[in-house]
Structure 1
Amino acid sequence: MEIKRIVKSKKEMYQVYFDDGQSLKVHEESLVRYLLVPGKELTEDEFETLKESLEYDRAYTSALKYISYKLRSVKELETHLSEYYEQKLVRQTVYRLQDEGYLNDKAYAEAFRNTVFNTSDKGPMHLVRELKKQGISNDLIEKEREVLDNMIDSDRMNKLKDKFLRSHRGSYRQFKEKLKEKLITRGYQKHHLELIVFDDDFDEDTYFEKDFEKYYNKYQRRESGLKLKQKMIAAMMSKGYSYDKISEKLGGIDDE
Protein backbone atom coordinates (compact mmCIF):
# COMPACT_ATOMS: atom_id res chain seq x y z
CA MET A 1 0.00 0.00 0.00
CA GLU A 2 1.18 3.48 -0.89
CA ILE A 3 0.75 6.90 0.68
CA LYS A 4 -1.13 8.99 -1.89
CA ARG A 5 -1.38 12.34 -0.13
CA ILE A 6 -0.99 14.09 3.19
CA VAL A 7 -3.36 16.88 4.21
CA LYS A 8 -2.94 19.19 7.18
CA SER A 9 -6.10 19.17 9.32
CA LYS A 10 -5.64 21.42 12.37
CA LYS A 11 -2.77 22.72 14.47
CA GLU A 12 0.03 20.12 14.19
CA MET A 13 -2.18 17.26 13.00
CA TYR A 14 -2.23 15.70 9.53
CA GLN A 15 -4.41 13.18 7.69
CA VAL A 16 -2.44 10.56 5.76
CA TYR A 17 -4.35 8.91 2.88
CA PHE A 18 -3.42 5.53 1.36
CA ASP A 19 -4.21 4.16 -2.09
CA ASP A 20 -6.51 1.46 -0.67
CA GLY A 21 -8.85 4.04 0.85
CA GLN A 22 -7.54 3.85 4.40
CA SER A 23 -6.27 6.92 6.28
CA LEU A 24 -4.46 7.74 9.51
CA LYS A 25 -4.52 10.81 11.73
CA VAL A 26 -0.91 11.72 12.49
CA HIS A 27 0.89 14.33 14.56
CA GLU A 28 3.52 16.43 12.76
CA GLU A 29 6.25 14.89 14.92
CA SER A 30 5.16 11.40 13.87
CA LEU A 31 5.34 12.37 10.19
CA VAL A 32 9.02 13.10 10.64
CA ARG A 33 9.75 10.18 12.98
CA TYR A 34 8.22 7.54 10.69
CA LEU A 35 9.27 9.25 7.42
CA LEU A 36 5.72 9.46 6.13
CA VAL A 37 5.75 11.12 2.69
CA PRO A 38 3.63 10.75 -0.46
CA GLY A 39 4.81 7.79 -2.53
CA LYS A 40 6.12 5.76 0.39
CA GLU A 41 5.02 2.12 0.28
CA LEU A 42 4.19 -0.04 3.30
CA THR A 43 3.41 -3.72 3.65
CA GLU A 44 0.32 -4.79 5.62
CA ASP A 45 2.53 -5.67 8.60
CA GLU A 46 4.31 -2.30 8.45
CA PHE A 47 0.94 -0.55 8.26
CA GLU A 48 -0.33 -2.39 11.38
CA THR A 49 2.91 -1.62 13.22
CA LEU A 50 2.58 2.03 12.26
CA LYS A 51 -0.99 2.14 13.59
CA GLU A 52 0.12 0.67 16.91
CA SER A 53 3.02 3.13 17.17
CA LEU A 54 0.76 6.08 16.44
CA GLU A 55 -1.73 4.88 19.06
CA TYR A 56 1.10 4.61 21.58
CA ASP A 57 2.24 8.14 20.71
CA ARG A 58 -1.28 9.43 21.28
CA ALA A 59 -1.54 7.66 24.62
CA TYR A 60 1.80 9.09 25.72
CA THR A 61 0.87 12.62 24.63
CA SER A 62 -2.51 12.32 26.37
CA ALA A 63 -0.81 11.13 29.56
CA LEU A 64 1.69 14.00 29.52
CA LYS A 65 -1.15 16.48 29.13
CA TYR A 66 -3.08 14.86 32.00
CA ILE A 67 -0.17 14.98 34.44
CA SER A 68 0.87 18.49 33.41
CA TYR A 69 -1.95 20.06 35.44
CA LYS A 70 -0.94 18.41 38.72
CA LEU A 71 0.84 15.38 40.14
CA ARG A 72 -0.96 12.10 39.56
CA SER A 73 -0.62 8.67 41.09
CA VAL A 74 -0.03 5.60 38.93
CA LYS A 75 -3.58 4.39 39.59
CA GLU A 76 -5.02 7.81 38.74
CA LEU A 77 -3.26 7.88 35.37
CA GLU A 78 -4.15 4.26 34.61
CA THR A 79 -7.82 4.97 35.30
CA HIS A 80 -7.75 8.01 33.01
CA LEU A 81 -6.00 6.27 30.12
CA SER A 82 -8.16 3.14 30.41
CA GLU A 83 -11.14 5.16 29.23
CA TYR A 84 -9.50 5.60 25.82
CA TYR A 85 -6.83 2.92 25.34
CA GLU A 86 -6.44 -0.83 25.76
CA GLN A 87 -4.70 -2.14 28.87
CA LYS A 88 -1.46 -3.16 27.12
CA LEU A 89 -0.99 0.36 25.80
CA VAL A 90 -1.83 1.86 29.19
CA ARG A 91 0.85 -0.21 30.93
CA GLN A 92 3.46 0.66 28.28
CA THR A 93 2.70 4.36 28.71
CA VAL A 94 2.83 4.15 32.51
CA TYR A 95 6.18 2.30 32.46
CA ARG A 96 7.67 4.89 30.12
CA LEU A 97 6.53 7.80 32.28
CA GLN A 98 7.91 6.09 35.37
CA ASP A 99 11.27 5.55 33.65
CA GLU A 100 11.35 9.19 32.60
CA GLY A 101 10.56 10.36 36.14
CA TYR A 102 7.21 11.95 35.30
CA LEU A 103 5.24 9.43 37.36
CA ASN A 104 6.30 8.56 40.89
CA ASP A 105 3.99 7.41 43.69
CA LYS A 106 6.57 8.27 46.35
CA ALA A 107 6.80 11.87 45.15
CA TYR A 108 3.01 11.97 44.84
CA ALA A 109 2.50 10.81 48.43
CA GLU A 110 5.05 13.30 49.79
CA ALA A 111 3.50 16.18 47.86
CA PHE A 112 0.00 15.22 49.00
CA ARG A 113 1.16 15.08 52.61
CA ASN A 114 2.61 18.59 52.36
CA THR A 115 -0.60 19.84 50.75
CA VAL A 116 -2.70 18.39 53.58
CA PHE A 117 -0.48 19.98 56.20
CA ASN A 118 -0.02 23.39 54.59
CA THR A 119 -3.37 24.09 52.93
CA SER A 120 -6.01 22.23 54.94
CA ASP A 121 -7.21 21.58 58.49
CA LYS A 122 -7.08 17.79 57.95
CA GLY A 123 -5.13 15.19 59.91
CA PRO A 124 -3.14 12.00 59.26
CA MET A 125 -6.10 9.65 58.89
CA HIS A 126 -7.52 11.88 56.15
CA LEU A 127 -4.17 11.51 54.41
CA VAL A 128 -4.40 7.73 54.76
CA ARG A 129 -7.93 7.63 53.32
CA GLU A 130 -7.09 9.79 50.31
CA LEU A 131 -3.84 8.01 49.45
CA LYS A 132 -5.64 4.66 49.57
CA LYS A 133 -8.16 5.99 47.05
CA GLN A 134 -5.27 6.79 44.69
CA GLY A 135 -3.79 3.31 44.94
CA ILE A 136 -0.67 4.25 46.88
CA SER A 137 1.04 1.26 48.52
CA ASN A 138 0.49 0.63 52.23
CA ASP A 139 4.20 1.07 52.99
CA LEU A 140 4.27 4.55 51.43
CA ILE A 141 1.00 5.49 53.13
CA GLU A 142 2.26 4.44 56.55
CA LYS A 143 5.50 6.34 56.05
CA GLU A 144 3.75 9.57 55.10
CA ARG A 145 1.17 9.15 57.88
CA GLU A 146 3.98 8.91 60.40
CA VAL A 147 5.73 11.98 58.97
CA LEU A 148 2.52 14.03 59.10
CA ASP A 149 1.76 12.75 62.59
CA ASN A 150 5.13 14.08 63.79
CA MET A 151 4.48 17.45 62.14
CA ILE A 152 1.30 18.06 64.13
CA ASP A 153 1.90 19.98 67.35
CA SER A 154 -0.08 21.80 70.03
CA ASP A 155 0.12 25.06 68.07
CA ARG A 156 -1.74 23.56 65.10
CA MET A 157 -4.34 21.87 67.29
CA ASN A 158 -5.05 24.97 69.38
CA LYS A 159 -5.31 27.15 66.28
CA LEU A 160 -7.94 24.74 64.99
CA LYS A 161 -9.75 24.96 68.33
CA ASP A 162 -9.73 28.77 68.18
CA LYS A 163 -11.02 28.71 64.61
CA PHE A 164 -14.03 26.57 65.47
CA LEU A 165 -14.68 28.39 68.74
CA ARG A 166 -15.17 31.69 66.88
CA SER A 167 -18.23 30.27 65.13
CA HIS A 168 -19.66 28.30 68.06
CA ARG A 169 -23.03 29.34 69.48
CA GLY A 170 -23.85 27.41 72.63
CA SER A 171 -22.34 25.99 75.79
CA TYR A 172 -18.61 25.53 76.21
CA ARG A 173 -19.10 21.89 77.14
CA GLN A 174 -21.02 21.30 73.92
CA PHE A 175 -18.24 23.05 72.01
CA LYS A 176 -15.63 20.66 73.38
CA GLU A 177 -17.71 17.63 72.42
CA LYS A 178 -18.43 18.93 68.92
CA LEU A 179 -14.80 19.95 68.41
CA LYS A 180 -13.60 16.44 69.15
CA GLU A 181 -16.15 15.00 66.72
CA LYS A 182 -15.09 17.44 63.99
CA LEU A 183 -11.40 16.75 64.46
CA ILE A 184 -11.87 12.97 64.43
CA THR A 185 -13.87 13.34 61.19
CA ARG A 186 -11.02 15.43 59.76
CA GLY A 187 -8.50 12.70 60.43
CA TYR A 188 -7.08 13.46 63.87
CA GLN A 189 -6.68 10.90 66.65
CA LYS A 190 -6.90 10.82 70.43
CA HIS A 191 -3.26 11.80 71.01
CA HIS A 192 -3.77 14.88 68.82
CA LEU A 193 -6.83 15.95 70.84
CA GLU A 194 -4.77 15.71 74.02
CA LEU A 195 -2.62 18.59 72.72
CA ILE A 196 -5.56 21.01 72.98
CA VAL A 197 -5.74 23.36 75.95
CA PHE A 198 -9.33 24.16 77.01
CA ASP A 199 -8.87 27.29 79.12
CA ASP A 200 -10.83 29.80 77.04
CA ASP A 201 -12.65 32.73 78.56
CA PHE A 202 -15.89 31.83 76.81
CA ASP A 203 -19.09 33.62 77.84
CA GLU A 204 -21.96 31.24 77.19
CA ASP A 205 -24.60 33.22 79.11
CA THR A 206 -26.11 34.82 76.00
CA TYR A 207 -26.55 31.42 74.33
CA PHE A 208 -27.87 29.94 77.56
CA GLU A 209 -30.61 32.57 77.76
CA LYS A 210 -31.59 32.10 74.10
CA ASP A 211 -31.72 28.30 74.38
CA PHE A 212 -33.61 28.47 77.67
CA GLU A 213 -36.21 30.80 76.20
CA LYS A 214 -36.58 28.61 73.12
CA TYR A 215 -37.21 25.42 75.08
CA TYR A 216 -39.33 27.12 77.73
CA ASN A 217 -41.67 28.57 75.08
CA LYS A 218 -41.85 25.14 73.45
CA TYR A 219 -42.69 23.07 76.54
CA GLN A 220 -44.72 25.43 78.70
CA ARG A 221 -47.62 25.25 76.23
CA ARG A 222 -48.34 21.65 77.17
CA GLU A 223 -46.40 21.01 80.41
CA SER A 224 -46.28 22.56 83.87
CA GLY A 225 -44.83 22.00 87.32
CA LEU A 226 -42.43 19.09 87.78
CA LYS A 227 -42.99 17.76 84.25
CA LEU A 228 -42.00 21.11 82.76
CA LYS A 229 -38.86 21.24 84.90
CA GLN A 230 -37.85 17.74 83.84
CA LYS A 231 -38.31 18.57 80.17
CA MET A 232 -36.31 21.78 80.54
CA ILE A 233 -33.48 20.11 82.40
CA ALA A 234 -33.21 17.29 79.85
CA ALA A 235 -33.28 19.70 76.88
CA MET A 236 -30.76 22.16 78.32
CA MET A 237 -28.36 19.47 79.52
CA SER A 238 -28.42 17.95 76.03
CA LYS A 239 -27.04 21.31 74.87
CA GLY A 240 -24.16 21.01 77.33
CA TYR A 241 -25.31 23.41 80.06
CA SER A 242 -24.68 22.49 83.69
CA TYR A 243 -27.42 21.09 85.91
CA ASP A 244 -26.77 23.73 88.59
CA LYS A 245 -27.10 26.59 86.13
CA ILE A 246 -30.36 25.19 84.74
CA SER A 247 -31.80 24.58 88.23
CA GLU A 248 -30.91 28.09 89.32
CA LYS A 249 -32.70 29.54 86.32
CA LEU A 250 -35.78 27.37 86.90
CA GLY A 251 -35.78 28.38 90.55
CA GLY A 252 -35.82 32.03 89.54
CA ILE A 253 -38.90 31.40 87.43
CA ASP A 254 -40.65 29.75 90.39
CA ASP A 255 -39.83 32.74 92.57
CA GLU A 256 -41.32 35.05 89.99
Structure 2
Amino acid sequence: MKITNIEKAKATRYTISVDNEYWYILDLEIIMQNHLKIGMEVDEDFLDDIKMQAERRKARERAYYLLGYRDHSKKELYDKLLESARPEIAFEILSMVEEQGLINDENYARKLARYYLEQKNWGEKRAVYEMYKKGIDKELAEIAIEECDVDVIQQISKIIDKKYYLYMDDFKGKQKVIAALMRLGYSYDDVKAAINNYE
Protein backbone atom coordinates (compact mmCIF):
# COMPACT_ATOMS: atom_id res chain seq x y z
CA MET A 1 0.00 0.00 0.00
CA LYS A 2 1.13 3.50 -0.78
CA ILE A 3 0.09 7.07 0.14
CA THR A 4 -0.97 8.50 -3.21
CA ASN A 5 -2.32 11.93 -2.24
CA ILE A 6 -2.23 14.46 0.61
CA GLU A 7 -4.65 17.29 -0.12
CA LYS A 8 -5.60 20.23 2.07
CA ALA A 9 -9.24 20.04 3.22
CA LYS A 10 -9.53 23.06 5.50
CA ALA A 11 -7.37 24.94 8.01
CA THR A 12 -4.79 22.41 9.25
CA ARG A 13 -6.68 19.31 8.10
CA TYR A 14 -5.65 17.21 5.11
CA THR A 15 -7.36 14.41 3.18
CA ILE A 16 -5.14 11.35 2.83
CA SER A 17 -5.53 8.90 -0.05
CA VAL A 18 -4.02 5.41 -0.02
CA ASP A 19 -3.75 3.51 -3.33
CA ASN A 20 -5.77 6.31 -4.99
CA GLU A 21 -8.71 5.93 -2.59
CA TYR A 22 -9.82 8.19 0.26
CA TRP A 23 -8.48 6.85 3.56
CA TYR A 24 -8.81 9.47 6.35
CA ILE A 25 -8.60 13.17 7.25
CA LEU A 26 -5.58 14.04 9.42
CA ASP A 27 -4.39 17.16 11.17
CA LEU A 28 -1.06 18.58 9.98
CA GLU A 29 0.43 17.81 13.41
CA ILE A 30 -0.14 14.06 12.90
CA ILE A 31 1.21 14.23 9.33
CA MET A 32 4.39 15.97 10.48
CA GLN A 33 4.93 13.71 13.50
CA ASN A 34 4.79 10.61 11.32
CA HIS A 35 6.66 12.12 8.32
CA LEU A 36 3.83 11.19 5.95
CA LYS A 37 4.42 12.02 2.30
CA ILE A 38 3.15 11.06 -1.13
CA GLY A 39 4.74 7.83 -2.37
CA MET A 40 5.38 6.51 1.15
CA GLU A 41 4.87 2.75 1.55
CA VAL A 42 2.51 1.86 4.43
CA ASP A 43 0.84 -1.22 5.91
CA GLU A 44 -2.38 -1.85 7.87
CA ASP A 45 -0.69 -1.74 11.29
CA PHE A 46 0.96 1.60 10.52
CA LEU A 47 -2.31 3.09 9.26
CA ASP A 48 -4.23 1.80 12.32
CA ASP A 49 -1.65 3.42 14.58
CA ILE A 50 -1.95 6.74 12.70
CA LYS A 51 -5.75 6.59 12.98
CA MET A 52 -5.46 5.93 16.73
CA GLN A 53 -3.20 8.99 17.10
CA ALA A 54 -5.72 11.09 15.19
CA GLU A 55 -8.62 9.87 17.33
CA ARG A 56 -6.63 10.55 20.49
CA ARG A 57 -5.85 14.08 19.34
CA LYS A 58 -9.47 14.72 18.40
CA ALA A 59 -10.70 13.43 21.77
CA ARG A 60 -8.14 15.55 23.62
CA GLU A 61 -9.21 18.69 21.75
CA ARG A 62 -12.87 17.91 22.41
CA ALA A 63 -12.19 17.44 26.12
CA TYR A 64 -10.38 20.81 26.31
CA TYR A 65 -13.21 22.48 24.39
CA LEU A 66 -15.91 21.02 26.67
CA LEU A 67 -14.00 21.89 29.84
CA GLY A 68 -13.33 25.40 28.53
CA TYR A 69 -17.06 25.89 28.09
CA ARG A 70 -18.02 24.68 31.60
CA ASP A 71 -17.07 22.19 34.32
CA HIS A 72 -18.02 18.54 33.89
CA SER A 73 -18.12 15.49 36.13
CA LYS A 74 -15.88 12.57 35.16
CA LYS A 75 -18.85 10.49 34.03
CA GLU A 76 -20.35 13.36 32.07
CA LEU A 77 -17.11 14.06 30.19
CA TYR A 78 -16.46 10.36 29.56
CA ASP A 79 -19.95 9.91 28.09
CA LYS A 80 -19.46 12.91 25.79
CA LEU A 81 -16.07 11.65 24.61
CA LEU A 82 -17.62 8.26 23.85
CA GLU A 83 -19.81 9.94 21.23
CA SER A 84 -16.79 10.22 18.92
CA ALA A 85 -14.00 8.12 20.47
CA ARG A 86 -13.53 4.47 21.35
CA PRO A 87 -13.74 3.61 25.10
CA GLU A 88 -10.00 3.14 25.65
CA ILE A 89 -9.23 6.57 24.16
CA ALA A 90 -12.04 8.26 26.10
CA PHE A 91 -10.70 6.74 29.33
CA GLU A 92 -7.12 7.74 28.48
CA ILE A 93 -8.08 11.37 27.82
CA LEU A 94 -10.24 11.43 30.96
CA SER A 95 -7.26 10.25 33.04
CA MET A 96 -5.03 12.85 31.39
CA VAL A 97 -7.30 15.85 32.15
CA GLU A 98 -7.82 14.55 35.69
CA GLU A 99 -4.04 14.44 36.22
CA GLN A 100 -3.83 17.99 34.87
CA GLY A 101 -6.34 19.08 37.52
CA LEU A 102 -8.90 20.13 34.92
CA ILE A 103 -11.59 17.84 36.29
CA ASN A 104 -12.49 17.16 39.92
CA ASP A 105 -15.85 15.75 40.99
CA GLU A 106 -15.58 17.05 44.57
CA ASN A 107 -14.95 20.65 43.50
CA TYR A 108 -17.63 20.40 40.82
CA ALA A 109 -20.13 19.03 43.35
CA ARG A 110 -19.44 21.96 45.71
CA LYS A 111 -19.89 24.46 42.89
CA LEU A 112 -23.14 22.85 41.73
CA ALA A 113 -24.48 22.63 45.31
CA ARG A 114 -23.92 26.35 45.87
CA TYR A 115 -25.47 27.21 42.51
CA TYR A 116 -28.55 25.03 42.94
CA LEU A 117 -29.23 25.96 46.55
CA GLU A 118 -28.24 29.62 46.63
CA GLN A 119 -29.03 30.83 43.10
CA LYS A 120 -31.70 28.46 41.79
CA ASN A 121 -33.24 28.20 45.28
CA TRP A 122 -33.84 24.48 44.87
CA GLY A 123 -34.39 22.13 47.77
CA GLU A 124 -31.96 19.41 48.76
CA LYS A 125 -33.81 16.59 46.96
CA ARG A 126 -33.91 18.34 43.61
CA ALA A 127 -30.31 19.56 43.91
CA VAL A 128 -29.06 16.02 44.62
CA TYR A 129 -31.15 14.63 41.75
CA GLU A 130 -29.81 17.20 39.25
CA MET A 131 -26.22 16.59 40.41
CA TYR A 132 -26.71 12.85 40.01
CA LYS A 133 -27.96 13.46 36.44
CA LYS A 134 -24.68 15.28 35.77
CA GLY A 135 -22.71 12.22 36.88
CA ILE A 136 -21.97 13.21 40.49
CA ASP A 137 -22.09 10.32 42.95
CA LYS A 138 -25.17 10.62 45.21
CA GLU A 139 -23.12 10.47 48.43
CA LEU A 140 -20.71 13.11 47.14
CA ALA A 141 -23.67 15.31 46.18
CA GLU A 142 -25.19 15.00 49.65
CA ILE A 143 -21.88 15.92 51.32
CA ALA A 144 -21.56 19.01 49.08
CA ILE A 145 -25.14 20.02 49.96
CA GLU A 146 -24.43 19.69 53.70
CA GLU A 147 -21.31 21.86 53.36
CA CYS A 148 -23.47 24.71 52.01
CA ASP A 149 -25.20 24.94 55.40
CA VAL A 150 -28.34 26.66 54.11
CA ASP A 151 -31.14 27.57 56.53
CA VAL A 152 -33.92 25.76 54.68
CA ILE A 153 -36.83 27.36 56.56
CA GLN A 154 -35.45 30.84 55.94
CA GLN A 155 -34.82 30.00 52.29
CA ILE A 156 -38.39 28.77 51.76
CA SER A 157 -39.73 31.89 53.50
CA LYS A 158 -37.76 34.09 51.08
CA ILE A 159 -39.20 32.20 48.11
CA ILE A 160 -42.73 32.67 49.48
CA ASP A 161 -42.02 36.40 49.95
CA LYS A 162 -40.72 36.73 46.43
CA LYS A 163 -43.14 34.56 44.43
CA TYR A 164 -46.05 33.17 46.38
CA TYR A 165 -47.19 35.63 49.07
CA LEU A 166 -50.37 36.47 47.10
CA TYR A 167 -51.50 32.84 47.40
CA MET A 168 -51.13 32.65 51.17
CA ASP A 169 -54.55 34.05 52.08
CA ASP A 170 -56.65 30.91 51.62
CA PHE A 171 -56.40 27.14 51.95
CA LYS A 172 -56.48 26.43 48.20
CA GLY A 173 -53.73 28.96 47.57
CA LYS A 174 -51.56 27.46 50.30
CA GLN A 175 -51.95 23.99 48.77
CA LYS A 176 -50.65 25.39 45.47
CA VAL A 177 -47.69 26.95 47.27
CA ILE A 178 -46.91 23.67 49.04
CA ALA A 179 -47.02 21.75 45.73
CA ALA A 180 -44.81 24.35 44.00
CA LEU A 181 -42.21 24.28 46.79
CA MET A 182 -42.14 20.48 46.83
CA ARG A 183 -41.48 20.53 43.08
CA LEU A 184 -38.43 22.66 43.88
CA GLY A 185 -37.19 19.75 45.99
CA TYR A 186 -38.18 20.80 49.52
CA SER A 187 -39.61 18.21 51.88
CA TYR A 188 -43.24 18.47 53.02
CA ASP A 189 -42.17 18.89 56.65
CA ASP A 190 -39.81 21.76 55.82
CA VAL A 191 -42.44 23.45 53.67
CA LYS A 192 -45.09 23.17 56.41
CA ALA A 193 -42.65 24.48 59.02
CA ALA A 194 -41.70 27.41 56.80
CA ILE A 195 -45.36 28.26 56.10
CA ASN A 196 -46.19 28.14 59.82
CA ASN A 197 -43.17 30.30 60.50
CA TYR A 198 -44.14 32.69 57.69
CA GLU A 199 -47.62 33.12 59.07
In which range does the TM-score fall when normalised by the shorter chain? 0.7 to 0.9
Query: How far apart are the structure 2 equivalents of 1:175 and 1:25?
Result: 63
Q: CA deviation at 1:187?
A: 1.2
Q: Which residue of 1 aligns with 2:98?
A: 98
Q: CA deviation at 1:95?
A: 1.9
Counterpart mapping for 1:207-218 below 5 A? none
Which structure has the larger Rg?
1
Query: How far apart are the structure 2 equivalents of 1:84 and 1:43?
Result: 25
The answer (yes or no) to whether the contact 2:78–2:90 under 8 Å persists in 1 is yes
Q: CA RMSD in A?
A: 2.6
Structure 2: 5+ residue stretches without partners: none
Query: How far apart are the structure 2 equivalents of 1:167 and 1:63?
Result: 48
Amino acid at match of 1:108: Y
Amino acid at match of 1:79: D
Query: How far apart are the structure 1 equivalents of 2:121 and 2:90?
Result: 36
Q: Percent identity?
A: 24
Structure 1: 5+ residue stretches without partners: 200-256
Q: C-alpha deviations, 1:158-202, integer Å up to 9, x for none?
A: 21111233453x743333333232222211232465345333xxx
The answer (yes or no) to whether the contact 1:125–1:188 under 8 Å persists in 2 is yes
Q: CA deviation at 1:87?
A: 2.3
SS of the residue corresponding to residue 198 of structure 2 reads coil
SS of the residue corresponding to residue 5 of structure 1 reads strand
The answer (yes or no) to whether the contact 2:2–2:40 under 8 Å persists in 1 is yes
Q: 1:138 to 1:18 in 2, by over 3 A?
A: same
Q: CA deviation at 1:125?
A: 0.9
The answer (yes or no) to whether the contact 2:117–2:127 under 8 Å persists in 1 is no
Q: Which residue of 2 aligns with 1:176?
A: 174
SS of the residue corresponding to residue 61 of structure 1 reads helix
Q: CA deviation at 1:29?
A: 2.5
SS of the residue corresponding to residue 128 of structure 1 reads helix
The answer (yes or no) to whether the contact 1:63–1:77 under 8 Å persists in 2 is yes
So what's the TM-score if we normalise by structure 1? 0.66
Q: Which residue of 1 aligns with 2:54?
A: 54
Query: How far apart are the structure 2 equivalents of 1:60 and 1:44?
Result: 24
The structure with higher relative contact order (CA 8 Å, sep 6+) is: 2
So what's the TM-score if we normalise by structure 2? 0.82
Query: How far apart are the structure 1 equivalents of 2:166 and 2:70?
Result: 34
Query: How far apart are the structure 2 equivalents of 1:76 and 1:9?
Result: 32
Q: Which residue of 1 aligns with 2:140?
A: 140
Q: CA deviation at 1:129?
A: 0.8
The answer (yes or no) to whether the contact 1:125–1:145 under 8 Å persists in 2 is no
1:161 aligns with 2:160: yes
SS of the residue corresponding to residue 10 of structure 2 reads coil
The answer (yes or no) to whether the contact 1:3–1:41 under 8 Å persists in 2 is yes
Query: How far apart are the structure 2 equivalents of 1:152 and 1:192?
Result: 12
Counterpart mapping for 1:15-94 below 5 A? 15-19=15-19, 21-94=21-94
SS of the residue corresponding to residue 5 of structure 2 reads strand
Q: CA deviation at 1:109?
A: 1.2
The answer (yes or no) to whether the contact 1:157–1:193 under 8 Å persists in 2 is no
The answer (yes or no) to whether the contact 1:16–1:24 under 8 Å persists in 2 is yes
SS of the residue corresponding to residue 71 of structure 2 reads coil
